[in-house]
Structures are given as structure tokens and as C-alpha cells.
Homo-oligomer: A and B are copies of this chain.
Amino acid sequence: MKPFLTLLPALLATAVTSAIGGTPTRIPDAALTTAAQLREQALHDNTAWNFTEGLTTEVGARLAGSANDAKAREWVIAKFKALGFEKVWTEPVTYPKWVRRSEHAEIVAPFAQPLAVLALGHSPGTPAGGISSDVVGFDSFDALKAADSAMVRGKIVYVGARMHAHRDGHDYGIGSTVRTQGPSLASSKGASAFLLRSAGTDSSRLPHTGVTRYEDGVAPIPAAALASTDADQLERVLKRGQPVTIKLALDCGIEGEYTGANVIAELRGSKKPNEYFVMGGHLDSWDPGTGAIDDASGVGIAVGAAHVIAALPQRPARSIRVVAFANEEAGLYGGKEFAASHAKDIKSAVLGSESDAGADRIWKITASVKPEARGAVAQIAEVLKPLGVEYDASAPGNGGSDLSALHAVGMAGLSLHQDATRYFDWHHTANDTLDKIDPEQLRQNVAVYAVAAYLAAQAEGDFGSAPGAFANDGRGD
């Protein structure tokens, strides 16, 4: 099936272009030559590393709405200004402020012992002193779905779905479904609290936090993730067949609203300054680590790419915007706000790509563009080939996390896929720290982003951004 899918869109693109008869978007030869030079310069540029090292060392964890979130904003504004962008500004983003104070879990019976646990974002706390309940375990989201409420009522539900490491990280679908939808589902069946095996691929005794969502009309119940080691342990205890009692004490919850901001920097285009290529990452992070791979490096890669482009003798035709998005983690708040405020001039957002899967080597590019721009994407891909990047013309590309919101209202999307094999070992854990970033792979990312940004900014013709242009293209990633 895969070869068929791979060939089809390429054929379609040609066919449709001829059928529609629109002018193909093209990238001039001179721009391709410059892009190849940029690529090599980026492979020797440490701006992304210095940015990522600085943010994670001088600020550290950046939970949305925390004091460090504000500190990070000031840090990034100062850094953007120092790097020589023509314009640096903020756009406010308001969201519920979730606070974590402490969490504690233990098996009370039959074998008393502590469990390594982290509350999920947006989880309410337990009553002070915690709750103690018997546990009922399921090995998948579907098993919980199929369970009779009588089995679940009054109990702590545990779901032990497992993820395995893959280059495209597709098992995150399994883990994130349990995390985001499990607590609501368990609550709808009368559970008192919810625990999951961390959505991760490691075997460290460090739980993976992450946001959950409570559906309207369902009582929010306390929800937390066990480290995989402790999920193993709980499963071994459950397998012995005796009743298992857990005590869970979470001190956390939503406390009003907070207004943060997206921080935006622009290299001003020399010919069409009102049109822009947009790239970036999110500035917030979960709190157990220092948010190095998620997502200081994402902002750092965009900053590094802009930096090598800024060093050219002249600015590209279009503007280049770097966005450090606010509160991606608790539900794409920054991305949604950006989409809401920029939807009215969506044609100006010529193409966009956000980096939010760590900093390991980019191995694939996919895009959602108009058929007439497929050739231009192939031209970009050609310049990326020496970096080991393959072009999958069969798949869409929504531009990545926050930018998927702008894509949803019509921005053409470019997805630059990082190798995610190691990413879910550390994602949302205390292990998200700078040492997990390989400077050489980080520079490869910068080279890819620099080439893509520059060529999109120099392209003759657009990529199809228009209101609702990609409304039927929701499956991109």
C-alpha cells in the first residue's frame, strides 16, 4: 500500500496543476544556490545551541502561568532583541492557570510501598490527606471503554497501555489517548481517581506528566501518571490476585486565569514584507525537567535558522517570523490565539513549520500546499537531500503543534519530521534536560529550517494559504 500512496500524490499534483492551469510556484536558481550555502553555514552555527543552553540554564523549567514562565518571556525578548531582528513584539494569550504543589502515591496493601507519580496537567487535587481506594486495572483504553461501570465505581482506575519507540513516534497516539481521554472516561463510569502507565518509551523511574481533558458534564477526578517501573510493579502486585489498595494525594489544580504572551520576532522582507514564513517552537514547558527537548530546542532551531539567514548580504523577499508560543502544553493556547488573531490575513502566512519533537535529526518532510506549489516543495526537498532528509509527497503536513491551529484556518503547512526514536524516553519527564540534545543533530535541524525558511521567502508564487484552504486535510502531522 505504501508505494502506491507515495506515488499517487506526485502524479495527482502534476495532473491537477495541468487541469487547473494555475501558474506553478517556482524557486529561482539563484535562491537554490544561496540555500545550499546557508545549509553548510548552518551546520557550523551554534546559535541554536547557545539559545537552548541559555534558556534551560538561566531560566530552567517554564510551566505555563508560573513565575518562570514570565521570566522566560523576558529572557526571550531580550535574546531576540540582541540577535538583531528588525521587530520584536508580544501578543497576549489568556488561559486557565494550573498549579502543581505536590503529589504522593503509595500501595497501602497488600505490599506497602511508595509509587513514583506525577499529577496530570489540569487535574484537580484530592481532598487533603488523599484518597484511598481499591484499584481496578485495564491494559488498554478500549478495555476501560468496554468495562461495566459496576467494576469501576468508587475505585481508582489504572490503565497500563504500553508504547514502543519508533522513528515517527506513532505510539504516542496510544499513550496520549489514555492520558487525555482516560480520566474523563473513568469518571463517567464512577471512578474515584485515575492512574496510567506513563505515556513514554523508557524504563526510568521518572513519570511522564502531560495534560488531560475533562469533558463537559463529567466530574473532574484526580489523575496522575506512574513511572513505567512503578506501573510494572503495580501490575505485578495486581497479578497476585489480592485486593490492591492505593493511597493518592495530589495537591494541584486550576487557579483562575493567567495572561501570558506569544513572543514574536521578525526579519523584515526586502520585497514583500507583509508576507511571511513562520517558524518556531513553544516557550512553555512541563515543570519536572528544564524543557530542553520540549521545547527550548524548537525555539532555538528557529532562532538559529533566522540567524544564518540574517547574516546574508540582503534580506529575502518575504519576512521571516519566529514565534515562541505560549502554553502549548495545556492545549495549544498560544497557537490557537495566534490563529485567531492572524486568520484575517491568512494569505500573508505563506508557509509555516513549528519544531516540537526534540532536536534529533530531521529525516522526512511532508507538506500541505496547493497543487501548483508541489514543485516548489520538491525544490526545497532537493536542497535538503544532502542532510539525509527524504520527501514524502504522499502525506500532508500541518506545520506542527501550535501552527496546526493556523493551518486549520488556511495556512499552507510544512512538517519537518525529527527522528522521534529517543524523544518519548524523556518527553514530559525530569529527564528533559540539555544533555539529551546532540549539538550536531541540532545543527542539522537548523540547516533544514534555514533552507526551508529562506526558499519559502524567496519563492515566486505562493503555497496556497487562503481561508479554509486545507479544511479537508485534517490528518496531517
Contact = CB atoms under 8 A, between A and B. Distances in A.
A377 to B, nearest CB: 37
Contacts of A342: none
Contacts of A430: 116, 205-206, 229
Main secondary structure of the interface of A (DSSP, over half): loop
A113 B232 contact: no
A435 B113 CA distance: 17
Given A205-B206, A206-B206, A433 B232 contact: yes
Contact of A237 (B57, B232, B237): B57
Contacts of A228: 435
Given A203-B436, A289-B205, A236 B431 contact: no
A250 to B, nearest CB: 19
A233 interface: yes
B435 A203 contact: yes
A204 B206 CA distance: 9
Contact of A57 (B57, B58, B111, B431): B111
Nearest to A231: B435
Interface in A395-436: 429-431, 433-436
A433 B61 contact: no
Interface string A196-221: 00000001111000000000000000
A252 to B, nearest CB: 17
Name, among A61, A110, A205, A435, the residue most crowded by chain B CB atoms within 10 Å (CB to CB): A205
A59 interface: yes
A60 interface: yes
Number of chain copies forming the complex: 2
Contacts of A59: 111
A206 B433 CA distance: 12
A290 interface: yes
Given A205-B431, A206-B206, A435-B203, A111 B58 contact: yes
Given A233-B290, A290-B233, A204 B57 contact: no
A356 interface: no
A22 to B, nearest CB: 52
Interface in A283-327: 288-290
A53 interface: yes
Given A205-B206, A206-B206, A229 B113 contact: no
A424 B203 CA distance: 15
Given A57-B111, A206-B206, A232-B434, 7 more contacts: A57-B237, A58-B110, A203-B431, A203-B435, A204-B206, A205-B288, A233-B290
23 contacts: A53-B236, A57-B111, A57-B237, A58-B111, A59-B111, A60-B111, A60-B233, A61-B113, A116-B430, A203-B433, A203-B436, A204-B204, A204-B206, A204-B431, A205-B429, A205-B430, A205-B431, A206-B206, A206-B430, A228-B435, A229-B431, A233-B434, A236-B434
Interface of A: 53, 57-61, 110-111, 113, 116, 203-206, 228-229, 232-233, 236-237, 288-290, 429-431, 433-436
